[in-house]
Amino acid sequence: METRSFADYLRGLNDESLAALFALRPDLISPVPSDMSSLAIRTNSAPSLARAVDGLNEWQFQVLEACIAINEPMTEKEIIEVTDSSAKFVIPHLMSLALLYTSRDGIRIPQTLRDVLGTEPAGLGPVSMAKLSMKKLEEAPAAAKKILEQLTWGPPRGSVGDIRNPGPGIAWLLKENFLVPLDQRCVVLPRNVAIHLRGGKIHKNPQPNPPILNGKAVKQNVVDRAAIANIATVLRWCEEILNFWSEEPPSALRAGGLGVRDLKSAAEHLGVDENCAAFVSELVYLRGLVVIDADDRVLPTHAFDLWLTQSAEARWRGIASLWLATSRVSGLVGRAESKHISALGPELDRVNAASTRRLVLELLSASREISPDVVSFSALVKWRAPSRRSPGLQPDLVKWTLRESEWLGITGQGAISKYGLAFYKGEEAIGVDLDLPKSINHILIQSDNTAIAPGRLEIELARTLDSIADIESRGGATVYRFSETSLRRGLDHGKTGEEIREFLRKTSKTPIPQPLDYLISDVSKRHGRIRVGNTSAYIRCEDQNILTQILNDKRMETLPLRRIAPEVLVCDMDARDIIALLRTAGYLPAAESTTGVLLLGPRLNRAKSKPRPPRVIGELEAPSDETLAAALRSIRVGEKSSSKQSALREIAANALGAIPRTTANETLDLLNKFIAEACTLSIGYADNNGSATHRIVDPLSISAGSLIARDHATGEVQSFRIPRITGVAPL
């Protein structure tokens, strides 16, 4: 078939070539176009071309720019002359992407691609239409040569004071048409002049080879040990932050997301910086373990309880897979230029985030046992995928991806681990459960009111210990500290002093030191002597001296307290706020119900609403073989249908003068005759506006004054009123 247009070129491709095109550009079949004409329109659309161009590496893009810069049609030899001999290996790839295509007279470019790449590819201006003698450039005065040196490699535009009174250099260039005036203050260097001055090349620094990756060598066993420790840590972070929010749910901002104060509080609880806390917050949010409920509170969901029952490998794979696929970028939180962006907020999506993460893991997988230097690694990523749609963010995305990969345990000490490699390749067994240290069921209490957990604690033991002690340091072993505040928290969770002692006796391999025993006794004795309820709120205490102390305490001056009985104070503030102020001042209040019953017990707050993980905004994934086969089949059938309809329309148009005008009775007789003969008919049919159109139909039967027939244009069985049929002719 002769190729006269881009659509003809696509029609000439075989199924294998079309499948390769769809695999490289999956947006072309989302949704599947109806026929080749629709496919050509979509392939030549600006958004689709922008996606395809964004996937080119630096050298492929330079070759494409060179093709834009020279005249169409072009040959492979002409492209190589203005680039490099290695361009012959790039041209087939550009053709497989349909960024170049072959016609009857040479290689051409889709029409819209010039608009996508801009009017000045590679810093070249428009082509001059005047006849130019390049030999005259050798006679150019020194001032003119200096101007040409500034404009040769772009940008091609320059400013002048007044085009009517330019300097001698510009005046000579304008006279010889080596510069073209655009307006009263701007001139431009023509493209053909610039290419001549560039020595017949388009780019000053062609980049056919990727930059060299620098880094330090790290042994694989060292990498894997560091990575498995990171995996255990990130799972613990996720569990700790959700338990923390279960006890003290933060309030979401009006615009959505987590406030700066709440993020800082979570970071202090985890013992990490705010960047890491934002990253952990996003992980649990993506996994659906936390949600912003109808009351604008950030609460764990019931999915968190189910998540805890899964194996460590299943939990880790779940959060790592979502991190790899998401378009959300937690690194944006806390940037000076991103003041209004918050963790869990709606403004974290960036279109090239997921593709950058995949590329980083691909390059790390290709350089095992090497911890790359960030500068050289960023340069390599930029060469592989220059990210032309948002180039300013790419260096930061690379840095954040390397940092987050380390936090997740995909890398260890900067190099990819065996777990990260198995995860990236999609293997079923990653090996996390086998290599992760087994959970332990004991602690070691020390004389300074601390306890050491020499490994990963069992879930229930860790949860109970978190309720009565604060984490002081983390690492291979976790150090917990018992204090008045932490023990009060355990008592608020419904434990008695004796239950706390019994728990410590069972789990500790060392005896309870006397100072800790005295501390437990003292706190449990004082806990609950002060009772707080709602009137709005009241404070009740059997010890009148304590109430007198509260009334005279300067730290409680912000509370509008009033004594209504020797053992009762009332206040207009909410009971929860009063309890918080009393605890800050060093008292140990407890909440009670309207019946006077102490409100104690574990506070496992859970959201009533279902998890609502954020949507992913990004590029389409590569289609499966089944999807490609179905898309090809649909397009081929649609193309045949379109061709058939075009042929039938042409037949109907030619038959316009051949269809005789008949009365309704004559039409009925002819239809009965042709139904018996099973002929395909061309009929004239009047529409609601009275204008006649021609239809190609296969008559089936006559019923209730209508012809029942299959319309070739739609492929559907339709009814045609006989009085509206103006004439009938067999085909």
What residues have CB less than 8 Å from 45, skipping those under 6 apart? 112
Confidence of residue 586 (pLDDT cuts 50, 70, 90): confident
Residue whose entry in the numeric block shows the structure tokens 């810093």: 123
Backbone conformation region of residue 475, classed left if phi is above 0, alpha if psi is from -120 to 50, else beta:
left
Residue whose entry in the numeric block shows the structure tokens 């609460």: 299
Three-class DSSP category at 454: coil
User: Residue 318 pLDDT more than 90?
Assistant: yes
Helices (H) and strands (E) in the chain, counts: 29, 25
Q: Which two tokens stand for residue 413?
A: 């000490």
By the 8 A CB rule, do 273 and 403 touch?
no
Residue whose entry in the numeric block shows the structure tokens 């949704």: 31
What residues have CB less than 8 Å from 455, skipping those under 6 apart? 437, 438, 439, 440, 476, 477
> Half-sphere exposure of residue 491, counting CA atoms within 13 Å on the CB side?
26
User: Residue 320 pLDDT more than 60?
Assistant: yes
Say how far apart CA 672 and CA 678 lie, in whole Å. 10
pLDDT for 114 equals: 86
Residue whose entry in the numeric block shows the structure tokens 């002819």: 670
**Residue 290 CA to its chain's centroid (Å):** 19
Bridge partners of 702, per DSSP, are: 707
One-letter amino acid at 285 equals: Y
In this structure, the dihedral spanned by the alpha carbons of residues 343, 349, 355 and 357, taken in order and rounded to 10 degrees, is: -10
Which of 186-190, 469-473, 575-579, 645-649 has the highest average model confidence (pLDDT)? 186-190
One-letter amino acid at 131 equals: K
By the 8 A CB rule, do 339 and 257 touch?
no
By the 8 A CB rule, do 159 and 151 touch?
no
Say how far apart CA 14 and CA 717 lie, in whole Å. 33
Q: Which CA distances in Å does 322 have to 282, 286, 314, 335, 697?
A: 10, 7, 12, 23, 54
Bigger pLDDT: 637 vs 633: 633
Confidence of residue 653 (pLDDT cuts 50, 70, 90): low
One-letter amino acid at 606 equals: R
Provide the 10 A C-beta neighbour count for residue 368: 14
pLDDT for 1 equals: 45
Bigger pLDDT: 96 vs 459: 96
User: Residue 404 pLDDT more than 90?
Assistant: yes
Q: What b/e readout covers 227-261, taking b as 16+ CB neighbours within 10 angstroms?
A: bbbbbbbbbbbbbbbbbbbbeebbebbeeebbeee
Q: What would the DSSP string read from start to end of 614-664?
A: PPP-SPPPPPPHHHHHHHHHHHHHHHHHHHHHHHHHHHHHHGGGTSPP--H
Say how far apart CA 421 and CA 412 lie, in whole Å. 12
pLDDT for 284 equals: 93
Bridge partners of 453, per DSSP, are: 478
Peptide bond into 31 cis (omega under 30): yes
One-letter amino acid at 489 equals: R
User: If you average pLDDT over residues 471-479, what whole number do you get?
Assistant: 78
By the 8 A CB rule, do 93 and 24 touch?
no
Say how far apart CA 701 and CA 680 lie, in whole Å. 13
Provide the 10 A C-beta neighbour count for residue 209: 10
Q: Residue 563 is inside which H or E element, if any?
A: strand 562-565
Provide the 10 A C-beta neighbour count for residue 150: 11
By the 8 A CB rule, do 6 and 44 touch?
yes
User: Residue 39 pLDDT more than 60?
Assistant: yes
Bridge partners of 590, per DSSP, are: 531
Domain residue spans of the chain = 134-197, 215-428, 529-591, 658-730
Q: Residue 681 is inside which H or E element, if any?
A: strand 681-686
Say how far apart CA 195 and CA 201 lie, in whole Å. 6
Confidence of residue 391 (pLDDT cuts 50, 70, 90): low
Say how far apart CA 363 and CA 368 lie, in whole Å. 9
Q: Which two tokens stand for residue 577?
A: 């706020």
pLDDT for 351 equals: 81
pLDDT in tens, 443-453: 888 888 888 88
Query: For 2-11, 307-316, 434-443, 716-725, which range has the lowest pLDDT when averaged over its residues?
Result: 2-11
User: Residue 291 pLDDT more than 80?
Assistant: yes
CATH of domain 658-730: 2.30.30.100
- Between strands 589-591 and 530-533, the pairing is parallel
Diameter of the chain measured on Cα atoms = 116
By the 8 A CB rule, do 354 and 619 touch?
yes
- Between strands 106-108 and 101-103, the pairing is antiparallel
Q: Which two tokens stand for residue 52?
A: 């395809």
- Between strands 450-453 and 470-473, the pairing is unpaired
Between the two ends of the chain, the Cα-to-Cα distance in Å is 28
Sign of the alpha-carbon torsion through 345, 349, 353, 358: positive
What residues have CB less than 8 Å from 53, skipping those under 6 apart? 61, 64, 99, 113, 116, 117, 388
Three-class DSSP category at 254: coil
User: If you average pLDDT over residues 56-78, what whole number do you get?
Assistant: 90
Exposed, middle or buried, 326 (CB in 10 Å: 0-12/13-18/19+)?
buried
Say how far apart CA 97 and CA 25 lie, in whole Å. 7
pTM (two decimals): 0.72
By the 8 A CB rule, do 407 and 276 touch?
yes
Whole-number average pLDDT of the chain: 84
Phi, psi at 393, each rounded to 5°: -90, -15
User: If you average pLDDT over residues 113-138, what whole number do you get?
Assistant: 85
